[in-house]
Amino acid sequence: MPTARLLLSCPDRTGLVASVADFVWRVGGNITHADQHTDEQAGVFFQRVEFLVSDLTVGRGQLAQRFAPVAAEFGMEWRLSFSDETRRVAILVSRQGHCLYDLLARWRAGELPCDIAAVISNWPDHSAAAEHFEVPFHELPVTPETRDAQESRLADLLGRYRVDLVVLARYMQILGRRIIDPYRYRVINIHHSFLPAFAGGRPYAQAHARGVKLIGATAHYATEDLDEGPIIAQEVARVTHRDSVDDLARTGRDLETTVLARAVRAHLTDRILVYGRKTVVFD
C-alpha cells in the first residue's frame, strides 16, 4: 500500500519523536517504519518515518502544510515524498558496461522502483543493451574541444526526459556545474576505493604492484569536488598475493555493481539524509 516518507534533521532536543508521531496520528496515518539517529558530537537529530496514507483524514497535498508548524517549532530541515511517486532515472556510461547491465537487470526484475528514462554514453558500445531493455539510447561523443557543447546537449536530454536522478555507471567523464548544480545530491557516482591512492589509469595494476590485501568500491553523490562528495555506500573484499591484476579487477567490478545498486535503491526509497560532507543512510 502507498506510504508517505518523512525525512528530517534538526538540533537535538526533547519532544522530537513524540511531536512527529503525534502529527502522523492527527492526520490519520499509521506508522509502518521509523528510524532515527543522533550525532552526539554535532548535536543533530535525524529521523525517517514512513506511514500509510490509505486512511488519511486530509489530502496528500495538505500534509506538508500541516507539518510545517511542527518543523518550524524544532527548526527542522525536512522533505516529504510518497512511495508511489515514480522517479525517472538516466544512466550515464562509457565503455565498461558491468554496472549498466546490472542496473538494467535489477530494474527489469523490479528491484529498483523507478523508470529508467534513458541510457546516455560517450561511446556507441551499449546501444544494443539499451535496445534489449527497451530504453532510449543516446550517444554523445566528447573530446576536450567539444566538452562544453556535449555537456549542453546532455543537460538538454536530462531536461527533455524529466530526469530526477542521474547515475554514473562508470561514466568516465567529469561533469561540470551545468549538470551538478541543478541535480545537487541527485547524481550518484561509483568508483574503486583506492582513492586518493592509485589515482589515474590502471588502478588495479598499481594496487597489485603494491601488494594490497583489501580492495573496495565507493558510491557517493557527485559534487564539484571530484570524487569527494558525500559517501552513500562502500564495500570491501579481501585479496591475496595469489590474485592477478585481472583477478583484482574482476573482484572490483563485482563490488562496484553491488555497491552502486545499493546506493541507487537507498536514494529511490528516500533513505538518505545529507549533512555537511556526510550522509545518514537509514536501513
Q: Is the pLDDT score of 196 beyond 90?
A: no
Domain with residue 205: its CATH number is 3.40.50.170
**184 and 55 both lie in a single domain:** no
Q: What is the pLDDT of residue 199?
A: 83
Q: How large is the average pLDDT for residues 210-234?
A: 94
Q: Which pLDDT score is estimated for 238? A: 97
> Which of residues 61, 82, 103 is at a domain's end?
82
Query: Once rounded to an integer, what is the mean pLDDT over residues 23-29?
Result: 98
Q: What confidence score (pLDDT) does residue 225 get?
A: 84
Tell which of 82, 104, 124 closes a domain.
82
**pLDDT tens, position by position, 110-139:** 999 999 999 999 999 999 999 999 999 999
State mean pLDDT over 34-44.
Answer: 96
pLDDT tier, 212 (very low <50, low <70, confident <90, very high otherwise) = very high
Q: Are residues 155 and 270 in the same domain?
A: yes
pLDDT digits 0-9 by tens, 156-172: 999 999 999 999 999 99
Question: Distance of CA 188 to CAs 39, 171, 249, 276, Å?
Answer: 24, 11, 21, 17
The pLDDT score that the predictor gives to residue 148 is 95
Q: Which of 64, 82, 100 lies at the terminal end of a domain, its last residue?
A: 82
User: Would you state the pLDDT for residue 33?
Assistant: 97
Quick one: 78 and 139 in the same domain? no
The band of 256, judged by pLDDT with boundaries at 50, 70 and 90, is very high
Mean pLDDT of 208-228: 93
Give percent above pLDDT 70 in the chain. 100
Report the CATH number at residue 17: 3.30.70.260
Positive or negative, the Cα torsion across 130, 165, 168, 147?
positive
Q: What is the value of pTM for the model shown?
A: 0.96
Residue 226 has pLDDT above 90, yes or no: no
Q: Which residues are catalytic?
A: 227
Domain count, the chain: 2
Is residue 74 domain-shared with residue 147, that is, in the same domain?
A: no
Instruction: Give the 3-state DSSP-derived string for the chain, with helices as H, strands as E and coil as C.
Output: CCEEEEEEEEECCCCHHHHHHHHHHHCCCEEEEEEEEEECCCCEEEEEEEEECCCCCCCHHHHHHHHHHHHHHHCCEEEEEECCCCEEEEEEECCCCHHHHHHHHHHHCCCCCEEEEEEEECCCCCHHHHHHCCCCEEECCCCCCCHHHHHHHHHHHHHHCCCCEEEECCCCCCCCHHHHCCCCCCEEEEEECCCCCCCCCCHHHHHHHHCCCEEEEEEEECCCCCCCCCEEEEEEEECCCCCCHHHHHHHHHHHHHHHHHHHHHHHHCCCEEEECCEEEECC
Let me know whether 237 and 223 are in one domain: yes
Per-residue H/E/C for 47-78: EEEEEECCCCCCCHHHHHHHHHHHHHHHCCEE
Provide the domain limits for residue 140. 87-281
> Greatest CA span in the chain, whole angstroms?
64
Cell 528516500 belongs to which residue? 270
Residues 143 and 257 in one domain: yes
pLDDT at 200: 82
Q: Residues 133, 251: one domain?
A: yes
Q: How many residues does the chain have?
A: 283
Q: Are residues 75 and 93 in the same domain?
A: no
Q: Is the pLDDT of residue 197 over 90?
A: no
Tell whether 40 and 93 lie within a shared domain: no
Check whether 198 has a pLDDT greater than 90. no
